[in-house]
Structure 1
């Protein structure tokens, strides 16, 4: 392991995170430069966090700046994995230095702050804050930073890092692949910096459009930006306890649905459609969308689940109006499949069928190359095709039939990777579920007797699924109107690790736990 070059990369990355805190400072001035006492605490907390981040990052960069070696695959893995951990640590400092509280009178511990920071950067949206609308719990500027971490992590802080830094050779391509993961890599074009710039440009443009549309509906600039960060990053942090339900439907809810859908689509498709100086007609450009197997499957899943949820809600009498049932079903479906986690209703109170459907949907996720988390739709499409081929082999063992996707033969290596990934997710989910049940005390559930034990099983299972797949809310004590504040400190540590595993699709974090990875060649 070339430690100096890793230190240099981490130093530059930390400088980027520290400098980005400056965008939150203006929100400490609510009116004509008159800083309130509590907001002043937030302002100086951010300033100290910036200085601390720049000092630590500067020290790392000073250690490795003389290294002239190229970053290779091994160093790229280390930079991505350790870079996300470093970002989580630095991002936690504003919460600690500002004296933010996770509940009135309850200060955030370092583990609490790290959990909230990692949840932001990984776009999980799992929160510990119980009173978002209480002006004496968390300063306005720190709340903005909390939402801004979503936006930085949505397209990926490493992608932004690659776009700014420039040529990093094969290591840069490996870093970009870990940030925009998926089993098919044709979308990552040979020029790594150009790919990163294109994806971030599209991301910024979409974010700007959504912000303007929300403001046109009467939403303030502050809230429009915060909800845009959560939407485009598929994160889900809101400035209200009732999340998007605060706006009582209407155009705001519709706009957020549209942009959640857009954020869950492969951003490379947008490039193919909107690229300049191309001779193809718009009809041919749009064929990139209509011919994409993953996009079709993504939209089909949303349609089917929305219809099933609507029927369930109507049959069980949760809503008397079909339009209202359809609206809440569509919002919940899009929010969960894109792993955004915004809510308009507490789906924990819906029927068992509806909750089971949403629980399964937590493991689907958006398209590869999108800002959504979860198991990407393309992997489910490939797994289905693999199943069909294996069933055929059972009665036609001598037939050799290649696996095709969109007319292209899928390599045997990708087939192997897909099966291995599903197996690893299953093992990690089951192991973490059992571990969380073991380490969490029964205090929250024991008053319900045997029913409470059953609820603990479901709540812990949904907590693991929600963090591993970067969804955010789960069921029961962590439902859309609840939070993770009541989990133990060790439970929060486990869930924080799951958020990192899910955001980086396992390997960039798992390699850090392998002793052989750190040995010299």
Structure 2
């Protein structure tokens, strides 16, 4: 199976055109706040022109059939190209000095990780901060999925792109045509973003702050326009609104679609959603009682802070209203473990995902039954249906590789001289696309002090986590490049 190089480059050109157009959308905020325009205008122009030139030079490709290998390569290279060009607004405006720092911030945006190196966010130009938030919104659902809705118009099938970018989403659950699925997902994504923006404005946020936080909430990204993140807003209303939308963003968008259609029985029958809800509720209640019993805060504030931090970490959003590492050592361990949880499949969350944890635990307990009854056929069941062994093996392989990559990442980052707890937290939060970690990269700190090598390592881990390991790692397999 040969790679369709000309078509791959053609689609990368299309993605850069979309990327450049997105940069130009930030100009109204620069105009409104009377800032210099040339940084964003030049960045958008360079990116748009480069993408257009690439697209025009390769548009006459006759073979427009995308194979699976093509899809994997497009998604990985697409994220890298968008991140490379996405550094231009930061560098030209001198908001972030140096390509390493700018690339780290950009890929943290596109992968919706939210790990930042900016030490004074509020001093940055408004237009640049909006670009920063927009990178997360674009990366949340995936600009690739947006391209899937456009590619059929150009005569290019997009199924392989969709599978490579969003392996957790089940297109057949909503509509048989992939183009329609992508459109519906984006309409839901856009609609929830607009609704949250309005609700946050009712709570006293300016339109600018409301739209920025809505973009990064629905993307489960966590970039904020304030140095103190959501802790800046001492408002129960604003924090509860963000809690609700973080939870929705961490929910499978197919389930959200059924909920909007009023098919609540179908929503509740989904085992992953039930487990996701139960984990959030039980952990939040348990932690809030401990925080309250320690007499640090009143009960409502204890509950709100606990609920906010639990949902923020589980959904890999990374917003902060309190420093959970200052509560108690055993609570720090709990939040560290939550860095490996992740939200639902088919959501904008990163991490291992609830459904994989569910299948892993079910298979582990059933294995004890199989040992007692070696002749019995005891399949793992999810939502009442038997799960094929291929899926079970895939989950086991994913978790094993995830933990292996994590261990190697901690080992390599430790060589840069960071403290061990910082290495544990930084690698976990980067691979899980969460944002805050432990130690020097905890909830009230950032990644500025990490060495250049460490930043490139963590950037690579962000990409691995966002594309769920296999999409990127298979490019390092020599069989991928064989012509057969």
Instruction: Tell me the residue number matched to 1:59.
Output: 53
1:126 aligns with 2:141: no
Q: Which runs of 5+ in 2 are unaligned?
A: none
Instruction: Tell me the residue number matched to 1:354.
Output: 331
| Residues 232-268 of structure 1: CA deviation (Å, up to 9, x unaligned) | 1000000111100011132111100000011111111
1:200 to 164, 175, 186: 186
Instruction: Tell me the residue number matched to 1:116.
Output: 105
Provide the C-alpha distance between the structure 2 equivalents of 1:364 and 1:249, rounded to a whole number of angstroms. Answer: 28
Provide the C-alpha distance between the structure 2 equivalents of 1:486 and 1:168, rounded to a whole number of angstroms. Answer: 46
Instruction: Tell me the residue number matched to 1:98.
Output: 93
- What is the TM-score when the length of structure 1 is the normalising length? 0.89
Instruction: Tell me the residue number matched to 1:471.
Output: 434
| Contact persistence 1:133–1:241 (CA under 8 A) | yes
* CA deviation after TM superposition for structure 1 residue 230, in Å: 1.1
* CA deviation after TM superposition for structure 1 residue 292, in Å: 0.8
* CA deviation after TM superposition for structure 1 residue 178, in Å: 2.4
| Stretch moving more, 5-14 or 474-483 | 474-483
1:462 aligns with 2:440: no
Over aligned residue pairs, what C-alpha RMSD do you find? Answer: 1.7
Instruction: Tell me the residue number matched to 1:14.
Output: 16
| Residues 157-199 of structure 1: CA deviation (Å, up to 9, x unaligned) | 1011111222689962221122222286754743110110000
Partner secondary structure for residue 133 of structure 1: helix
| Contact persistence 1:72–1:170 (CA under 8 A) | no
Provide the C-alpha distance between the structure 2 equivalents of 1:274 and 1:128, rounded to a whole number of angstroms. Answer: 38
Provide the C-alpha distance between the structure 1 equivalents of 2:290 and 2:236, rounded to a whole number of angstroms. Answer: 23
Provide the C-alpha distance between the structure 2 equivalents of 1:467 and 1:88, rounded to a whole number of angstroms. Answer: 16
Provide the C-alpha distance between the structure 2 equivalents of 1:510 and 1:183, rounded to a whole number of angstroms. Answer: 20
| Contact persistence 1:162–1:168 (CA under 8 A) | no
Provide the C-alpha distance between the structure 1 equivalents of 2:298 and 2:194, rounded to a whole number of angstroms. Answer: 34
1:306 aligns with 2:306: no
| Contact persistence 1:124–1:472 (CA under 8 A) | yes
Instruction: Tell me the residue number matched to 1:510.
Output: 473
Instruction: Tell me the residue number matched to 1:446.
Output: none
| Contact persistence 1:292–1:406 (CA under 8 A) | yes
Instruction: Tell me the residue number matched to 2:270.
Output: 292
Provide the C-alpha distance between the structure 1 equivalents of 2:323 and 2:380, rounded to a whole number of angstroms. Answer: 41
1:77 aligns with 2:69: no
1:87 to 74, 82, 86: 82
Provide the C-alpha distance between the structure 1 equivalents of 2:47 and 2:422, rounded to a whole number of angstroms. Answer: 36
Partner secondary structure for residue 483 of structure 1: coil
| Contact persistence 2:171–2:181 (CA under 8 A) | no
* CA deviation after TM superposition for structure 1 residue 62, in Å: 3.0
| Residues 296-333 of structure 1: CA deviation (Å, up to 9, x unaligned) | 00011111211222233234x26142222111110000
| Contact persistence 1:312–1:353 (CA under 8 A) | no
Instruction: Tell me the residue number matched to 2:31.
Output: 29
1:419 to 374, 396, 402: 396
Provide the C-alpha distance between the structure 2 equivalents of 1:491 and 1:243, rounded to a whole number of angstroms. Answer: 24
Provide the C-alpha distance between the structure 1 equivalents of 2:366 and 2:98, rounded to a whole number of angstroms. Answer: 52
Instruction: Tell me the residue number matched to 1:397.
Output: 374
Provide the C-alpha distance between the structure 2 equivalents of 1:365 and 1:345, rounded to a whole number of angstroms. Answer: 20
Provide the C-alpha distance between the structure 1 equivalents of 2:321 and 2:400, rounded to a whole number of angstroms. Answer: 34
Provide the C-alpha distance between the structure 1 equivalents of 2:157 and 2:68, rounded to a whole number of angstroms. Answer: 5
1:343 aligns with 2:329: no
1:370 to 344, 347, 372: 347
Partner secondary structure for residue 306 of structure 1: helix
Instruction: Tell me the residue number matched to 1:436.
Output: 413
* CA deviation after TM superposition for structure 1 residue 409, in Å: 1.5
Provide the C-alpha distance between the structure 2 equivalents of 1:241 and 1:274, rounded to a whole number of angstroms. Answer: 35
Change (3 A) 1:188 1:360: farther
| Contact persistence 2:370–2:378 (CA under 8 A) | no
Instruction: Tell me the residue number matched to 1:68.
Output: 62
Q: How does 1:474-489 map to 2 (within 5 A)?
A: 474-489=437-452
Change (3 A) 1:274 1:169: farther
| Contact persistence 2:273–2:344 (CA under 8 A) | yes
Provide the C-alpha distance between the structure 2 equivalents of 1:186 and 1:305, rounded to a whole number of angstroms. Answer: 33
- What is the TM-score when the length of structure 2 is the normalising length? 0.96
Q: Which runs of 5+ in 1 are unaligned?
A: 102-107, 276-281, 443-455
* CA deviation after TM superposition for structure 1 residue 430, in Å: 0.3
Provide the C-alpha distance between the structure 2 equivalents of 1:234 and 1:294, rounded to a whole number of angstroms. Answer: 18
Provide the C-alpha distance between the structure 1 equivalents of 2:412 and 2:161, rounded to a whole number of angstroms. Answer: 31
| Residues 430-473 of structure 1: CA deviation (Å, up to 9, x unaligned) | 000001001x135xxxxxxxxxxxxx111111000001000001
| Residues 394-452 of structure 1: CA deviation (Å, up to 9, x unaligned) | 111111112211121211110110000000001000000001001x135xxxxxxxxxx
Partner secondary structure for residue 346 of structure 2: coil
| Contact persistence 1:115–1:493 (CA under 8 A) | yes
| Contact persistence 1:466–1:474 (CA under 8 A) | yes
Instruction: Tell me the residue number matched to 1:257.
Output: 243
Change (3 A) 1:64 1:504: same
